[in-house]
Amino acid sequence: MSFFDLNGTLKPLTALKQFGKKPHTISYPKESKEAADRYRGLHFNDLDECIGCGNCSTICQNAAIDMIHIEGHDGKKGDSGLRPRVDNGRCCWCALCVEVCPTGSLSLTKDYLYVSEDPDSFLWTPGKDNPEGKEQISFFSTEETSLNVLDRVPMPELEGKERVKSFAEVVLGYNEAEARAEASRCISCGLCTEVCPEHMHIPEYINAIAAGNDADAVRIIYDNNPLPEMCGKVCTRRCEDVCAIASRGEALAIRWLKRYATETAVTADITREIVNPEIREANGKTVGIIGAGPSGLTAAYYLALRGYDVTIYESSAKAGGATMYGIPKYRLPIESLDKQIDYIKSIGVKINFNTKVGKDISFKEIYNKFDAVFMGVGFPDAWSLGVDGEDAKGSMQAFRYLYMINSGDKVDIGDKVIVVGGGNVAIDAARVSRRFGADVTILYRRRVEDMPADWEEIEGAEDEGVHIIPQGIPIKVHKDENGHVKSVEYLKAEMVPDPKGGRPKPVAIEGSNTIIEATAVMAAIGQMGDYSFLEKEFEDKIKIERGRFIVNEKQQTGDPKVFAGGDAVNRTADAISAIADGFRACKAIDEMLSA
Amino acid sequence: MMNDKNSQKIVDIIQNWARKHSIWVLAYGTGCGAIEIPPTMTSRYDAERLGVRGAATPRQADVLLITGYLTVKTMKRVIRVYEQMQDPKYVIGFGSCTINGGMYYDSYNTIKVLDKYLPVDVYINGCMPRPEAVLSGFAQLQKRIAEGRANGAQQYKDNLEWYRANQKKIIPNWIMPDYNW
Amino acid sequence: MREKATTLYIGPQHPGITGNMMVKVQVEGDTIVKARTEVGYLHRAFEKLQESRNWLQSFTLLCRFCVPEPDPVEESYARAVELLEGREVPERAKYIRVLMLELARMASYMLWYGGQNGSLGLYTMGQWSVGDRNYILDLFEELTGGRVYHMYIWPGGVRRDLPDGFADKVLRTMDYLEKRLKDYDDLMFENTIFQKRTQGVGIISKEKAVEWGVVGPVLRGCGIKSDIRIDDPYEVYDKLDFIVPTQEGGDIWARALVRRQEIRQSIRIIRQVIEKMPSGEFYNRIPNPHKWTLPKGDAYARTEATRGEVGMYIVSDGSTHPRRTHFRGAAYVHGITLLEDLLIGENVADISAIMNSLGTCPPEIER
Amino acid sequence: MKELKESIIKRIKANFADAVERNDFKDNRLDFSVKKETIPAILFYLKDEMGFVHLSDVNCVDWLEDGELEVVFIVWSPADKIKVFVRTRLDRDNAVMDNLDMIWRQMNTYERELREMFGVQFTGLEAPEEFILEDWQGPPPFRRDFDSAAYAEKTFWHRPGREDAQDVRESIADRDGEEIPDFAKKYSR
């Protein structure tokens, strides 16, 4: 190469080509380039949409997000009342918090300027401190990109056609892999525990299942529920309504996971071995319990663990109350219930079967014999329809029908059954009738979506070929010459919105009378209590109002020695509420007697 | 005839005005934040418009940009660099990790809270802060200078013992010359 | 007569050093007789931190390993996790990943253009290439939401699909940059100063290159054809048509020429990717990150970055957190032993140029 | 590919009796576990005789429960396009092995790092004592029994002002009066 290279000297002058061209410069701060539509800037949190699950806080690998109380958000069921506060001295703007937010309330905005002279000013609450951020949202998660697993692991079930052939259990239960997969969807926020009447330790046992430790899960479950397998099969599972994942996807199958865990303890003995409860030494105190339903059994079990001598008086031949006699066996097999009751008995609970209080033994005797009494008497009677011709042969209460079937009795229902009502009892009666080969129609006053029964049950009934006639109000049962049910006459109803904002009311349409043939009619419009066993002298103290006992928050009636729980006390009238009553009563009795 | 106090005030205003428009940044990329410095300095954002430009040595520089986390080993060098710089001198904390540790909050090798060790004038948040954010950080610094509040060097001198104690806590083997600042 | 050796400390605060590291050189006159590097100024203990973060949280740390070109690190981690778990990646995601990697390669080379020329006192180039690099960063911003830290390629695919009209924008940017590359040639490769300062400086022989574990453009600058994209193809590189440029000589000039051609190959690859990209899913969703476990075992995935081979080695003990991760950086090999050896006999003035030509990236060395 | 892998296994097994192979990988990977004394010989053999000229990676895994450190070498053959993992286990309390930087020069750097971060000593390694850390007084930090977060808590400051943070689970339990038993708490998040 020569000393002077002409080409190499002139070529760089290409830079002169740029002379006079418009510069690329963005003359900030006079002009500013807008951030991209997907820019990951500062946070924004929609405070009303946020449910305070804290998933953002746990995913943050920088520990930048705290959950704090902020004014105006006190929390309610399904909302912890906490909101994320971001430490921008930690945040790395990765937006993982956005990806895992189950409601999608948390997002990032186009705003990125955060310059301050005060290092303590980088702690701030998105949404509260930048309400204008709502207009600038840029990086957000959708159902497609969410890192929550929104789809539930499907529960294997028998086919509809198979089901109606027998009383075999419809739901087959998760296998191990399915249970682990389902459990691993949980984000462990614990919002569910608040709505559970019994406040079961839901995230803990789900996490134990996800970690592959079923025994621990069983132990955690039995901490405050002695009938978990029953709950795992038939619980009304209000927990699933508030599941954080349900805000975008399908709720965790909390009920099925409990069922899976408890079914790993195959027999009562194995359950005893796994749970290995600590039983306190007998303290010489005695407690009498009326009714071996969920509330009575719960109180009995935990009192027995606390060293009390517990005796239950049960009018029927088997324990379980409404879960034994009200729930069909294809939902809750008798073996399953027996297993749990055997386990409870193995702790030392004594049950006197076929002993009806008020007939075989008087309430007064029990009252005097024990240091405390718990009444879990339930609702043994059912409401009747109150229409003409209800006294016909073949007209019955669905609840009684289920009781008789579950007791092993035969009931003649013919081949055309009409069930009136929309609750779980109605569906159960309908599905049971299907299993006896009848053609079943459900007549319900309101629309299908208004039915109080579980949607899963309604779907199951439809799969099995049950017809549902919504907006039908029965007005008369026609009899044939033998006094047997021949047909049911009903009026079509239209839904009239309630001006006060309540749920719409069905109003019969005049002249829309329709008649359907039937060989049996079942009323499933509600149950009621029977308190005739209470002697007169107790009436002053043990008050009954609108068909239910009046108790305080400790389940205590006006008589300090007498406690009550279950359907005969609470309005929700489901098994888990009854268990919660029993558990509360147990604690109160323990407190009272050990004082 | 003005009294001394007033004339000093005018001198201060002129000085601050001049200082504000010639911010020379020490070319020391202490952490990953240094990657947004070239774009800030080059044609797109052209920080030189604002009087911001690079300086090769501490003696010439006005601003020490702490571009992100400081490891203990760098901390030692940064202290030396800072002490070599001539008054007036400013420190900008750049990125989340200078404020409260950022993503390295549990690392055994990075300091978390910069203002325990050096007086910091302005923090620019972000991980990584965009060039616009960097520029607005400089604008904030200019404002601070113009208002006469950017007296980090004086603060450091006044509280030297406190700073030294904090620095020595993480730098066990203290072999440092004393600079003539 | 031998001159007395003097010790010079270049760095860590030195404008010519590529990042925060130090080279301690002994010079006789201005000829280096011994060089020793000192690193560790940027050690954040990523690998330790990842052990206390779960498999997804670990992912956010990755792009901080090497700031100029973070995507190959994300890519290596994602692929190592997928390898260990057996997770399938949708075809579209593979194309998007290649698009990202090649854009990152271009962005990194353009920064290198500025650095290499800056190290020789030619500052105009930096104004151009680093300024133009912003157009690529704009693309990143639009696609990933971040200019520098993309956190985009993650196990199972990529984080978001391409936005509407993105492909056209990419092509327009490519057209613009291709035009600009001609200007760069005039300004840089045709420049006598650049030629004279780089030719015959920092020579690595073929034998030495193999023995010292040289990789990437530096190895190709020694005349050895080696590129993981061809040798151990990942994603969809085996379906794309491109050449791996090599250059004889082994000096800075040869390495610069290799990079000059590679940036053109990247444009070619990007155009093919845009053309061939299938529609469909972009992400094979991972399970709930809090409970996401990987099977027991280990995996190593490597990616061709602008500096050479970068790889991620992960070990799982079956839990939700990594047992150990290890990042293999190219600068780890180039920036310490090779640099120390290469500097011997060179001028002090060339230290910066040599370091730049090796692609020394201190944060990658120390992690 | 399958034949190639098998022939490599055969050759290695013939020369190194203690090598235990793993060949259940779908990709181009082979895995050999050997005693630590065999490491220099097998690496020399792989490089000089079998064309595994490229050293991809060296690193170390701490198996605290077993009381062992596992050193893994990953080598690559540009001709055969196969990567081979060679691994060996060292006693955690006495982690010593031979220096290997005569095989690949860059091994020197890896060995310095392993020495500093894991406390693996390489007999015959010539390099300055300190590599990344400076004046480090704790145990080798990458060993699993070193708790980085606790060390950081002790050594550095964290900015105050975040003490009022609440745990979602606890605050719900407080509100509804749930008593979480102690044995269950480890499953809370």
Domains of chain D by range and CATH? 2-152 (3.30.460.80)
CATH for B24-170 (3.40.50.12280, 3.40.50.2300, 3.40.50.1820, 1.10.357.10): 3.40.50.12280
Strands (E), D64-167: 68-77, 82-91, 96-98, 121-123
A35 contacts in B (CB within 8 Å)? 130
CB A418 within 8 A of CB A520: yes
Please state, in angstroms and rounded to a whole number, the distance separating the CA atoms of residues A450 and A504.
9
- pLDDT tens across D139-176, in order? 889 988 888 888 888 888 888 888 888 888 888 888 88
Contact A24 B44 (CB under 8 A): yes
- pLDDT tens across C210-223, in order? 888 888 898 898 88
Contact C43 D133 (CB under 8 A): yes
Q: Are strands A106-109 and A137-139 parallel, antiparallel or unpaired?
A: antiparallel
How far A206 CA sits from the closest chain D CA (Å)? 8
> Tell me: domain A160-274, CATH 1.10.10.10, correct?
no
Residue of B nearest to C41 (CA): B74
Contact D152 B111 (CB under 8 A): no
- pLDDT tens across A460-487, in order? 888 888 889 888 888 888 888 888 888 8
Please choose, from the candidates B136, D55, B24, the residue with its C-alpha nearest in 3D space to the C-alpha of residue A112: B136
Q: Which CATH number does A43-139 carry?
A: 3.30.70.3270
Strands (E), A430-530: 439-443, 467-469, 472-479, 485-496, 505-508, 514-517, 520-523, 527-528
Residue of D nearest to C328 (CA): D57
Comparing CB atoms, the residue among D54, D78, D148 nearest residue C45 is D148
Please choose, from the candidates A205, A230, A201, A228, the residue with its C-alpha nearest in 3D space to the C-alpha of residue A216: A205
pTM to 2 decimal places: 0.88
- Contact of B106 with chain D, judged by CB distance below 8 Å, is answered with yes
Comparing CB atoms, the residue among C134, C191, C286 nearest residue A11 is C191
Q: Which CATH number does A286-380+532-594 carry?
A: 3.50.50.60
Residue of C nearest to B75 (CA): C41
SS3 state at C108: helix
What is residue C1's predicted lDDT score, i.e. its pLDDT?
52
Q: Average of pLDDT values for C263-286?
A: 90
Show which subunits contact B, needing at least 3 CB pairs below 8 angstroms. A, C, D
Q: What are the C-alpha distances in Å from A418 to residues A331, A391, A490, A513?
A: 21, 15, 11, 16
The CATH number linked to C89 is 1.10.645.10
- What CATH class has A382-527? alpha beta
Contact D188 A208 (CB under 8 A): no
Number of alpha carbons in the 13 Å side-chain half-sphere of residue A163: 24
Please state, in angstroms and rounded to a whole number, the distance separating the CA atoms of residues A320 and A297.
8
Number of alpha carbons in the 13 Å side-chain half-sphere of residue D118: 30
Give the count of domains, chain C: 1
ipTM of the complex: 0.85
Least confident of A27-36, A270-279, A410-419: A27-36
Residue of A nearest to B152 (CA): A117
- pLDDT tens across C146-173, in order? 888 888 998 988 988 889 889 999 999 9
- pLDDT tens across D72-86, in order? 999 998 888 888 999
What is residue C2's predicted lDDT score, i.e. its pLDDT?
62
Amino acid letter at D14? A
Q: Which two tokens stand for residue C72?
A: 């190959």
CA A144 to chain centre: 27
Phi/psi at C3 (5° precision):
-85, 160
- pLDDT tens across C182-191, in order? 888 888 888 8
C146 contacts in A (CB within 8 Å)? 39-40, 93
Structural domain includes residue C245: yes
SS3 state at A528: strand
Please state, in angstroms and rounded to a whole number, the distance separating the CA atoms of residues D21 and D149.
38
Q: Do domains A160-274 and A382-527 have the same CATH topology?
A: no
What is residue C95's predicted lDDT score, i.e. its pLDDT?
92
Binding-site residues on chain C for chain A (CB distance < 8 A) = 53-54, 56-58, 60-61, 124, 131, 134, 138, 141-146, 149, 151, 159-160, 163, 183, 186-187, 190-193, 195-196, 283, 285-292
Q: What is the mean pLDDT of chain D?
A: 86
What is residue C99's predicted lDDT score, i.e. its pLDDT?
92
Q: Average of pLDDT values for C88-106?
A: 91
- For A399, other C-beta atoms within 10 Å of its C-beta total 26
Is the model more confident about A249 or about D25?
A249
Q: Are strands A123-124 and C153-154 parallel, antiparallel or unpaired?
A: unpaired
Print the domain residue range for C309: 6-366
Domains in chain A: boundaries:
43-139, 160-274, 286-380+532-594, 382-527
Please state, in angstroms and rounded to a whole number, the distance separating the CA atoms of residues D93 and C232.
38
Q: Which two tokens stand for residue A554?
A: 């400790």
pLDDT for residue A1 is more than 70:
no
What is residue C267's predicted lDDT score, i.e. its pLDDT?
92
Please state, in angstroms and rounded to a whole number, the distance separating the CA atoms of residues C350 and A488.
103
A219 contacts in D (CB within 8 Å)? 183-184
Binding-site residues on chain A for chain D (CB distance < 8 A) = 52-54, 57-58, 66-69, 75, 80-82, 85, 87, 89, 119-120, 123, 187-191, 193-194, 199, 201, 203-205, 207-208, 211, 216, 219-220, 223
C12 contacts in B (CB within 8 Å)? 28, 74, 77
pLDDT tier for residue A3 given thresholds of 50, 70 and 90:
low
Please state, in angstroms and rounded to a whole number, the distance separating the CA atoms of residues D42 and C55.
34
What is residue B181's predicted lDDT score, i.e. its pLDDT?
52
Comparing CB atoms, the residue among A11, A37, A95 nearest residue C186 is A11
Comparing CB atoms, the residue among B35, B36, B109 nearest residue C44 is B109
Please choose, from the candidates A403, A443, A436, the residue with its C-alpha nearest in 3D space to the C-alpha of residue A422: A443
Whether residue B128 is preceded by a cis peptide bond, meaning omega within 30 degrees of 0, is: yes
Binding-site residues on chain A for chain C (CB distance < 8 A) = 1, 5, 7-9, 11-12, 14-15, 17, 24, 35-40, 58-59, 61, 92-96, 99-100, 108, 138-139, 145, 147-149, 181, 183-188, 207, 210
CB B142 within 8 A of CB B50: yes
Instruction: Give the contacts of A378 (CB within 8 A, at least 6 positions apart).
Output: A291, A293, A321, A322, A529, A566, A567, A568
DSSP letter for each residue of D53-64: -EEEEEEEEEEG
Comparing CB atoms, the residue among A25, A26, A62 nearest residue B102 is A62
Please state, in angstroms and rounded to a whole number, the distance separating the CA atoms of residues D83 and C116.
34
pLDDT tier for residue B180 given thresholds of 50, 70 and 90:
low
Structural domain includes residue C1: no
Please state, in angstroms and rounded to a whole number, the distance separating the CA atoms of residues C81 and D7.
29
Please choose, from the candidates C337, C295, C351, the residue with its C-alpha nearest in 3D space to the C-alpha of residue C14: C351
- pLDDT tens across A514-568, in order? 888 888 888 888 888 888 888 888 888 888 888 888 888 888 888 888 898 888 8
Instruction: Give the contacts of C18 (CB within 8 A, at least 6 positions apart).
Output: C115, C352, C355, C356, C360, C361, C362
Instruction: Give the contacts of A443 (CB within 8 A, at least 6 positions apart).
Output: A418, A419, A420, A421, A469, A472, A474, A488, A490
- Contact of B127 with chain C, judged by CB distance below 8 Å, is answered with yes
SS3 state at C309: strand
CB C206 within 8 A of CB C223: yes
Comparing CB atoms, the residue among C39, C83, C302 nearest residue D56 is C302
B46 contacts in A (CB within 8 Å)? 23, 25, 27
Q: Which residue has the tokens 């308190």?
A: A531
- Contact of D171 with chain A, judged by CB distance below 8 Å, is answered with yes
Amino acid letter at A285? K
